[in-house]
Amino acid sequence: MLFKLHLIQPKLKRVHTLKEISGGVGVLEKLPELVAKKSPRYKVLLHNDPVNTMEYVVQTLRQVVPQLSEQDAIAIMLEAHNTGLGLVIVCDLEPAEFYAETLNSKGLTTTLEKEN
């Protein structure tokens, strides 16, 4: 008789087998671990904007990316203003595309970059 015992640890799933041996003693054998592929993540980058006001950029960032606080949005705007690029968010491709396209439609310039 063969039993499967699932032990789940944070970010790790291991599958072990338990073989019944005569006399009621069991042996726990570890099967090869399966490595789950993580989906690639993407950076949404805000480019320096010489046209829109700083207040508009902050307001637009907060409208499009609701998880940003006022201070986060100000920091991103200042980073873009001072260095040319500001990191808005790092996320999966689909939401990254949504954020970038929505920010672009509101007059801001953004690009996507695959995270290393």
Mean pLDDT for each 10-residue chunk of the chain (116 residues)?
47 50 59 75 96 97 97 98 97 97 98 94
Q: What's the predicted TM-score (pTM) here?
A: 0.69
Q: Which of 46, 40, 42, 50 is nearest to 60 (CA)?
A: 46
Residue that has been written with the tokens 């993407």 in this structure: 42
**Domain containing residue 21:** 1-36
pLDDT number for residue 116: 83
Do residues 49 and 92 both lie within one domain? yes
Do residues 7 and 20 both lie within one domain? yes
Do residues 24 and 56 both lie within one domain? no
Q: What are phi and psi of 108, to 5 degrees?
A: -95, 155
Do residues 105 and 80 both lie within one domain? yes
- Rounded to 10 degrees, what is the CA torsion of 11, 15, 16, 17? 170
Do residues 58 and 21 both lie within one domain? no
CB neighbour list of residue 86: distance below 8 Å, 6 or more residues apart: 45, 46, 75, 76, 77, 78, 79, 80
Do residues 49 and 103 both lie within one domain? yes
pLDDT number for residue 100: 98
69/62 Cα distance (integer angstroms): 7
pLDDT number for residue 36: 73
50/71 Cα distance (integer angstroms): 21
Domain count, the chain: 2
